[in-house]
Amino acid sequence: MRGLLFLALILVALAVPVVAGGQDSETRVLAVHLDNDINPVTQEYVENAVDRAEDEELAAVVLVLDTPGGLATSMRGIVKRFLASKVPVVVYVSPPGSSADSAGAVIAMSADIAAMAPQTNIGSSTPISLGGQDISKDLRRKIVNDAAAYIGELAREHDRNVEAARKMVTEASNYGAREAKAIGLVEVIAPTVPALLNRIDGMKTVPKGLVLQTAGAQIENVEMSFWQKARDFLVDPNLIALMLSIGLIGIVVELWNPGLVFPGTVGAISLILGLYGLQVLPVSLAGLLLMILSASFFVAEAFVPTHGALTVAGGVTFVLGALILFDPAGEAYQVSLPVAVGIAATLALLLGIALTRVVRVARRPAAVGVQGMVGAYGVVRRDGLVQINGELWRARALDHAPLVPGEHVRVEQIEDDLRLVVGSSTSPEPEEPN
């Protein structure tokens, strides 16, 4: 009897760690922090987090969101990934003071569970016209209706307030956390991620029918890596324009002075970084062509001096190209007018200084050959020879007077037979070379 009891105790002792270990593995949650705009880099960051949660079979993914919005293409990519996710996806607008505006509100409507922290807000999803300019009523109606239908269908499929969701687009409505909860736009209000996991525990998601088991879950916080942050930093229209201009300056300087290496190296690196930004963000073909034309004008000025005409043309086309370069990305991704003008003015100024020096050098008398000796000082030696820079030259006086050995003279001109014509000078005798 005692043997059976002892054996039972051993089996229980062995079973407890296994059960506990299994429970820990089933209740791990990934908390993905996103305090940024929605762009291709942040889209990749969020999608990778969902992929990891599926691979590791985690209990849920919580996107801790604070965003002003972003690109529609990246937003739709995130929405599609959330809808296809095999693990529950929770969008949590947090911490207090945060917001899920524009594209962020649409992403929240695509989540299995939409939650907010106190003192947060959601909404203002009305599409902004490209370049911030007025568009025709017909085109605006098409864009708004498309966005309203998109967010409304997401809300309907997740059993949320369709009318309130559509108003975030059609009327740019914005709701605080308590109001959003009261009208059925979000499911939960919680002050922290652990509190959120306890409150959503046992909920069944719509339409996937996934049952959440998140009470007391182990939370693993995820932040953007250094490389992702660096790439996100480069996705800045003003920085892209600056990198392109530095690249242009470096290449032009290298073309003017082959062999310097440093300007060409810096220019090439800057140009590659700028082109990376152009690859990430959608660009206008017209703006890109104007930027290329501007670069052509600046480079041509280095080889075909036009007294600054091509430099001015390059500066003007650079400003125009920079202002419309990122029109397809929307108003949030536009090059600032002061930045564009400042870069163009700097380019024109640098080229102007360089051209001034080139003209000044071109106007100087030749510093090589015998013509470079005009104005040089020397000393009369014997037999009508004059010593200049350690060399003896045949010479005659300007007034045809005889040359006196030891007399200091100055070269006034050079005859065709390389005879120097010298005049008297009070300059001290030049130092004899060793």
Annotated catalytic residue within 102, 124, 173, 294:
102
List domains and CATH numbers for the chain.
22-226 (3.90.226.10), 236-363 (no CATH), 370-424 (2.40.50.140)
- The pLDDT score that the predictor gives to residue 170 is 94
DSSP 164-188: HHHHHHHS--EEEHHHHHHTTS-SE
| Residues 110 and 83 sit within 8 Å (Cβ to Cβ) | yes
Q: How many CB atoms lie within 10 A of CB 124?
A: 20
* Nearest one of 397, 401, 405, 394 to 429, comparing CA atoms: 405
pLDDT at residue 2 greater than cutoff 60: no
pLDDT at residue 424 greater than cutoff 70: yes
* Nearest one of 346, 348, 363, 354 to 310, comparing CA atoms: 348
pLDDT in tens, 170-209: 999 999 999 999 999 999 999 999 999 999 999 999 999 9
Cα–Cα distance measured from residue 115 to residue 306, given in angstroms and rounded to the nearest whole number: 64
Annotated active-site residue 99? The verdict is no
- The pLDDT score that the predictor gives to residue 362 is 59
Cα–Cα distance measured from residue 409 to residue 407, given in angstroms and rounded to the nearest whole number: 6
**Among all chains, which residue has been given the structure tokens 């892209």?**
240
- The pLDDT score that the predictor gives to residue 94 is 97
pLDDT in tens, 70-123: 888 999 999 999 999 999 999 999 999 999 999 999 999 999 999 999 999 999
pLDDT in tens, 219-242: 999 999 999 999 999 888 899 999
Q: Please tell me the pTM assigned to this model.
A: 0.71
pLDDT in tens, 23-72: 444 689 999 999 999 999 999 999 999 999 999 999 999 999 999 998 88
Annotated active-site residue 142? The verdict is yes
User: Can you say how many angstroms the Cα of residue 434 is from the centroid of all Cα atoms in its chain?
Assistant: 60
Put residue 17 in one of left, alpha, beta given phi > 0 → left and psi -120 to 50 → alpha.
Answer: alpha
Residue 129 CB-density burial (10 A; 0-12 exposed, 13-18 middle, 19+ buried): middle
Residue 57 CB-density burial (10 A; 0-12 exposed, 13-18 middle, 19+ buried): exposed
Cα–Cα distance measured from residue 420 to residue 393, given in angstroms and rounded to the nearest whole number: 7
User: Can you say how many angstroms the Cα of residue 374 is from the centroid of all Cα atoms in its chain?
Assistant: 56
Could you tell me where the beta strands, DSSP code E, fall in 268-407?
377-380, 385-388, 391-397
Cα–Cα distance measured from residue 226 to residue 244, given in angstroms and rounded to the nearest whole number: 23
Annotated catalytic residue within 142, 225, 336, 427:
142
Pairing mode of beta strands 188-189, 218-222: unpaired
* Nearest one of 138, 136, 150, 52 to 103, comparing CA atoms: 150
